[in-house]
Amino acid sequence: MPTFKRRDMEEMEKAKDLLEADPNAELGFVKSLFFGRLKLDAVLPYPKQDPDEAKRTDELIVKVDAFLKEHVDADKIDVEERIPQHVIDGLGKLGVLGMTVPKEYGGGGFTHTAYCRVLERIASHCASTGVLVGAHQSIGLKALILMGNEQQKKTFLPDLAAGRKIAAFCLSEPEVGSDAANVQTMARLSDDGKHYILNGQKKFATNAALAGMMTVMAKTPVPDGKGGTKDKVTAFIVTPDLPGFEVVSPNRSKCGVRGTWQGTLRFNDMKVPADRVLGQVGKGLKVALAVLDYGRCTLSAGCAGGGKLALKMAVEHAKRRTQFSRTISEFHLIKKKIANMAEMTYAMESLTYMAAGLVDRKEKDMMLESAIAKLFCSEGLWTIADDLLQIWGGEGYMRQHGIERMLRDARINRIVEGATEVMTAFIALAGMKGVGEEFESVLRATKHPVQNFGRLASFAHSQWSDVVMGSGAAAGRNGQLHPELSELGQTLARLTTRIARSVHKLLRTYRQDILDMQLQQERIAWSVVEMYAMAAVISRLQAELTAKGGVNGNGHANGNGNGNGNGHSNGNGHSHGPVSDLQRDLIVGKGFCRRAARSIDQRLDALWDNDDTDTLKVADTLLGVTPSDE
């Protein structure tokens, strides 16, 4: 059996806080896929806003749209690299900066779904302003809401909710990007026990130079249970008036979202009162993960809003632009781009509000679902923005139309809150972890088969039911789905059985070596990503069919409503001609699912027929790496 290198053992120890879920929590939809279980009840029915809150959200959106149109000049913000104070003040007065803060602390008490709807509008108008709002509310003050004690909430939330103060989240450091467990900033308790003394640096901290309150991650010594101590991450509330707090640089000029400020901070023996620890000492990574679940969900909403605007602009231009004596909308290569943009946008929105629904239901196991929403939507918007510019051609390359700014702004989403490569590996390994642990426990049980007969019998039964026979396939035929969607349900069920069999074979073949096989991880991760996207699309279509009366005898959708289950219109940018909104969404949603299923099958085929060895050999040749160096 392959053994772990010392480096791997150290990294796995760090990863425990990141990967260990609540042992009492039921497996979520995505983790269940790795076991071959299709839990349709986890995605059905599609989340729906309470009617009263939906109305309240609609009213706020009207005010926000008017404010953005009158006061937020996205081009000027991009050029001047700053968001005017009157914009921040205005958003505070509208209640946007405290939407999710409970009413008893001066906030709006809105759900996460409502917040995502508003953030969609802001981000599609000005990505920089959307990032400022998200950094403040999605991650900056979120730890205070989730983990803060009553006194901490009373002290800080009212000013933050009103926009009198801005919040920031400080995790990244000069040597720490996505490697959250490797924080180098240190905090030691003072001799009198009244303060923690912080030393270190933070970088890329959005809003930090403007903030009146920051959530800061630092390592503290905690008892290891063996008579010694171990450095573990703790979350602190930091304010800029603390002695030893220094803004090294308020901002750096960058490619996109240029109106936002990413500060570099230094803590020089900074004394933080002991009562400003957020949550438990040594449990800061769990705080960070909980916060990032929210942040990734709202980042997805911003991407969905940008995708819908891009699709609308692409459709309008394709119908208007004439080349070779006809509009470019008649050319198949343009049609292909628009079809892909429409399918991707519908899936992005479906995933975003599925994740928002999980947040609002306070689901315990949603780590992979929020990671998938972030990964899918950030990659999707980048592709959509690029296709929009291509459809517009040279005109789109000019600053006048805001398309080049959209492309620049979209690029950062693939880096922040979990870079694409990190999220890809994380989804694969976090999902396979449970399957691997079950294998390991069974291997141990086989050494004492008599004493462990029950364990072995249970494992054999689950293997036969879920993987060999494919219980997922039965889930796809159990009548939970509308007849219009039954074929898609059966396809998803087939893929559920196939992904489980593929994971089992990978683990049996490579064992621990799979930890380093990131090209294989990528195939598993993106297969699961698209399966969850398919599930979200199917669930949303089911909600639309139910709301609009289903289909007629010819198999065509009835009704012309535009609800998507969230109490608001879908705004996909399609024409409202003879095809009803429901018919259009069925065409788009089914198109996405069929294309995704084809991609998944191709990826799973490639697990055993690929050019990975040659690819790595080429890279190693250029990097000067030999196998013994790795």
Lowest mean pLDDT among 135-139, 407-411, 561-565: 561-565
Q: pLDDT at residue 568 above 90?
A: no
Q: Mean pLDDT across the stretch 212-237?
A: 94
Section 161-166 average pLDDT: 98
Question: Which candidate in 369, 379, 404, 417 is catalytic?
Answer: 417
What is 51-162's CATH number?
Answer: 1.10.540.10
577 — pLDDT class (breaks 50, 70, 90)? low
- Residues of the chain within CATH 2.40.110.10 domain(s) are 167-282
Banded pLDDT at 566 (limits 50, 70, 90): low
pLDDT given at position 12: 47
Q: In this predicted structure, what is the pLDDT of residue 552?
A: 43
Helix (H, G, I), strand (E, B) or coil at 278: strand
- What are 80-105's pLDDT values in tens digits? 999 999 999 999 999 999 999 999 99
Query: Is 417 among the residues known to form the active site?
Result: yes
Fold of 1-44+283-550+561-630: Butyryl-CoA Dehydrogenase, subunit A; domain 3 (1.20.140)
Residue in the structure block whose two tokens are 């642990």: 437
Beta carbons of 300 and 306 less than 8 angstroms apart: no
| DSSP states along 57-87 | HHHHHHHHHHHHHHH--HHHHHHHTS--HHH
Q: What is the rounded distance in angstroms from the CA atom of residue 478 to the CA atom of residue 484?
A: 14
Query: Do the beta carbons of residue 476 and residue 488 sit within 8 Å?
Result: no
Model pLDDT for residues 525-553, shown as the tens digit of each residue: 999 999 999 999 999 999 999 998 754 43
Determine contact, residues 187/196, Cβ cutoff 8 Å. Answer: yes
Please tell me the predicted confidence (pLDDT) of residue 472: 55
Per-residue pLDDT tens digits for 365-386: 899 999 999 999 999 999 999 9
Give the burial class of 615: count Cβ atoms within 10 A of its Cβ; 0-12 exposed, 13-18 middle, 19 or more buried.
exposed
Q: What pLDDT score was predicted for residue 550?
A: 56
The residue to which tokens 């004394």 are assigned: 271
CA distance linking residue 526 with residue 532, whole number of Å: 10
Q: Do 393 and 334 contact (CB within 8 A), yes or no? A: no
Kindly tell me if the per-residue pLDDT of 497 is higher than 60: yes
- Average pLDDT rounded to a whole number, residues 316-337: 97
Residues of the chain with CATH 1.10.540.10: 51-162
CATH code: domain 167-282 is: 2.40.110.10
Torsion angle of C-alpha atoms 489, 493, 498, 500, degrees rounded to 10: 130
| pLDDT 10s digits, 253-279 | 999 999 999 999 999 999 999 999 999
For residue 575, pLDDT beyond 90: no
Range from 11-15, 98-102, 145-149, 507-511 carrying the lowest mean pLDDT: 11-15
Which residues of the chain form CATH 1.20.140.10? Answer: 1-44+283-550+561-630
